[in-house]
Amino acid sequence: MDTDREHAQQLLNLLAPDQIAAVVHVMEVMLDPLARKLANAPPEDEEITGEEQRAAAEAREWLKHNLPISHEEVLAELGLTMADWERMGKTPLPDKPHRSGHK
């Protein structure tokens, strides 16, 4: 009997190009360590405060009368581009020493 890898290859050979692109994206997400952590994270179980509910309602009301602000526009106001954003996401933060001076 075929191995799972061989079976997957046989199935991939039957897909249209746009379907292959979708499968590749799913596989990339599956292999991304952050995406795996987020997928395996427990569901949000904290109570939503009244303040948070009011803020969300205010945002929804604002969107009824205004166009959403794109991520690119926000970055541009900060003098950044999407390339800057992507690079920042891949750059590890420097280690910060604890207040006691020990790591």
- Which stretches within 41-81 are classed as H helix? 50-65, 71-77
pLDDT above 80 (res 94): no
Cα distance between residue 6 and residue 21, in whole Å: 19
* Structure confidence at residue 79 (pLDDT): 95
| 25 located within any domain | yes
| 76 located within any domain | yes
User: How sure is the predictor about 69, in pLDDT bands with cuts at 50, 70 and 90?
Assistant: very high
| 47 located within any domain | no
| 26 located within any domain | yes
| 99 located within any domain | no
pLDDT above 90 (res 32): no
Average pLDDT of the chain, as a whole number:
87
| 52 located within any domain | no
Element housing 9 (H / E): helix 4-13
* Structure confidence at residue 98 (pLDDT): 58
User: How sure is the predictor about 36, in pLDDT bands with cuts at 50, 70 and 90?
Assistant: confident
**Domain count along the chain:** 2
* Structure confidence at residue 102 (pLDDT): 52
Residue 36 lies in domain = 1-40
